[in-house]
């Protein structure tokens, strides 16, 4: 495979660094995919690949060479880079020669249609990228309809979000609303029953009603759900805390609630 060779000063290499460090606008929601596993996921999902960087000296699996040709075929543009340049842009201990800029899919509220028993999760102010990615992985696993973000604190293109989602970020629809008001308006217009995950004045999550369309809201690791979500007549549901701690990890509590809702909707 003959590709144009470029060095560290090339604008495409700089763009990778900007995306990794979040130091430039990223309107096309580009993210950095690295390694064989991530590239298999790109090929499977059909995600648009903007730029492919190939360093044949760094590969250590025959499969990588085969994939490289498929990726170069699919990418808008492809370059060859040296091991030294790869080292500059890789975030892995042992890079394997495949690195791409790819675009996350973009969903708009009007793209989504819901069945009678739809299930969505609202993540309000979640801060830790690994938690957000793990949440997306759980949404995929329980076949939830989408993730809604309000008071967003972490970008979906963060390498740790991509990694923790195990690639499911390419298939689970995500919507972001500027304000809680707008998110509530959209949920109401789609006839969702909203349940706030909160331990105060809450019903046990096993006793809550998951009939019809359900939107579960979880809050930030430090502050819980933003005030704006309260005073709107939404029921609060709690996963009982029976030990010395006063909360669960947010991706854990969301997943316990999501699977309860899924089980009840599916009559498992």
Residues that bind a second copy (CB under 8 A): 130, 134, 137-143, 164, 166-168, 171-172, 204, 206-207, 239-245, 247-249, 251-252, 255-256, 259, 262-263, 268
- Dihedral sign (CA 17, 18, 20, 23): positive
Q: How far is the CB of 34 from a second copy (least distance, A)?
A: 18
Burial of 171 (0-12, 13-18, 19+ CB in 10 A): middle
Q: How far is the CB of 138 from a second copy (least distance, A)?
A: 6
Helix-strand-coil split of the chain, %, nearest 5 = 35, 20, 40
Q: How far is the CB of 139 from a second copy (least distance, A)?
A: 8
Nearer CB in complex with a second copy: 23/204: 204
Give residues with Cβ within 8 angstroms of 94, minimum separation 6: none
Q: How far is the CB of 103 from a second copy (least distance, A)?
A: 18
Q: How far is the CB of 256 from a second copy (least distance, A)?
A: 5
Give residues with Cβ within 8 angstroms of 146, minimum separation 6: 107, 112, 120, 121, 139, 172, 173, 174, 175
Nearer CB in complex with a second copy: 34/72: 34
Q: How far is the CB of 170 from a second copy (least distance, A)?
A: 8
Give residues with Cβ within 8 angstroms of 168, minimum separation 6: 136, 137, 139, 140
What is the rounded CA–CA span in Å between residue 134 and residue 119?
17
Three-state SS at 110: helix
Nearer CB in complex with a second copy: 142/215: 142
Q: How far is the CB of 49 from a second copy (least distance, A)?
A: 18
Q: C-alpha angle with apex 169: 172 to 143, nearest 5 degrees?
A: 30
Nearer CB in complex with a second copy: 171/235: 171
Nearer CB in complex with a second copy: 23/266: 266
Closest CA to 125 of 53, 197, 203: 197
Nearer CB in complex with a second copy: 216/239: 239
Burial of 136 (0-12, 13-18, 19+ CB in 10 A): buried
Closest CA to 19 of 32, 6, 10: 32
Nearer CB in complex with a second copy: 5/241: 241
């Amino acid at each position: 495979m003959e590709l144009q060779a470029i060095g560290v000063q090339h604008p495409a290499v700089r763009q990778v660094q900007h995306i990794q460090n979040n130091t430039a606008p990223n309107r096309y929601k580009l993210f950095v995919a690295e390694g064989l596993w991530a590239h298999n996921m790109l090929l499977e999902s059909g995600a648009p690949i903007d730029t492919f960087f190939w360093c044949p000296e760094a590969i250590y699996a025959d499969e990588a060479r085969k994939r490289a040709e498929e990726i170069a075929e699919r990418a808008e543009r492809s370059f060859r880079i040296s091991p030294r340049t790869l080292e500059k842009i890789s975030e892995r201990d042992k890079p394997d020669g495949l690195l791409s800029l790819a675009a996350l899919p973009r969903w708009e509220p009007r793209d989504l249609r819901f069945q009678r028993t739809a299930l969505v999760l609202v993540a309000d102010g979640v801060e830790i990228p690994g938690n957000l990615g793990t949440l997306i992985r759980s949404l995929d696993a329980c076949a939830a309809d989408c993730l809604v973000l309000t008071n967003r604190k972490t970008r979906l293109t963060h390498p740790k979000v991509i990694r923790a989602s195990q690639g499911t970020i390419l298939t689970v629809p995500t919507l972001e609303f500027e304000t809680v008001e707008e998110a509530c308006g959209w949920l109401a217009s789609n006839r969702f029953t909203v349940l706030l995950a909160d331990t105060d004045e809450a019903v046990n999550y096993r006793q809550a009603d998951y009939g019809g369309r359900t939107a579960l809201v979880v809050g930030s690791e430090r502050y819980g759900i933003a005030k704006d979500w309260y005073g709107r007549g939404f029921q609060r549901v709690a996963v009982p805390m029976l030990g010395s701690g006063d909360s669960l990890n947010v991706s854990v509590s969301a997943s316990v609630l999501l699977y309860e809702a899924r089980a009840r909707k599916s009559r498992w």
